[in-house]
């Protein structure tokens, strides 16, 4: 975990990555259309964000004629892990138990979800295959 990158992505950056992960490589307009009709940013906004994301190592592009085709340079697991690690450190000072306690106290957790959590803990302890 020490040498994993921590990600602090804005909403639009994360939405763009989700489009690229789900649909595969695409042009600025492809990505823009993939963002849906609601809250769809302007073409220039998406192009600017993609350029910044490329500078940050989140996406890469190749030229196809006059168009740039973008693809993700990071996996969903890398981003999820990095964002959760950052959240854990910043809000809970690295205490996983505090984070879990907070999450369990916030919402109703049904019996099925609790059983799943118990199985995960048992697996981690090595008491269950």
Dump pLDDT digits (tens) for 58-113: 999 999 999 999 999 999 999 999 899 989 999 999 999 999 999 888 878 888 99
For the CA atoms of 27, 28, 29, 30, the dihedral, rounded to the nearest 10 degrees, stands at 50
The residues, ordered by sequence, that sit 6+ positions from 92 with a Cβ below 8 Å of its Cβ are 98, 99, 102
Could you tell me the pTM of the whole model?
A: 0.79
């Amino acid at each position: 975990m020490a040498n994993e990158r921590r990600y602090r992505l804005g909403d639009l950056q994360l939405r763009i990555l989700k489009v690229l992960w789900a649909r595969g490589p695409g042009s600025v307009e492809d990505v823009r259309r993939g963002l849906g009709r609601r809250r769809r940013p302007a073409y220039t906004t998406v192009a600017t964000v993609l350029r910044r994301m490329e500078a940050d190592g989140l996406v890469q592009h190749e030229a196809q004629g006059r168009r740039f085709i973008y693809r993700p340079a990071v996996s969903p697991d890398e981003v999820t892990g990095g964002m959760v690690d950052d959240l854990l450190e910043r809000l809970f000072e690295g205490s996983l138990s505090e984070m879990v306690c907070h999450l369990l106290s916030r919402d109703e957790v049904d019996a099925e979800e609790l059983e799943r959590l118990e199985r995960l803990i048992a697996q981690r302890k090595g008491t269950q295959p």
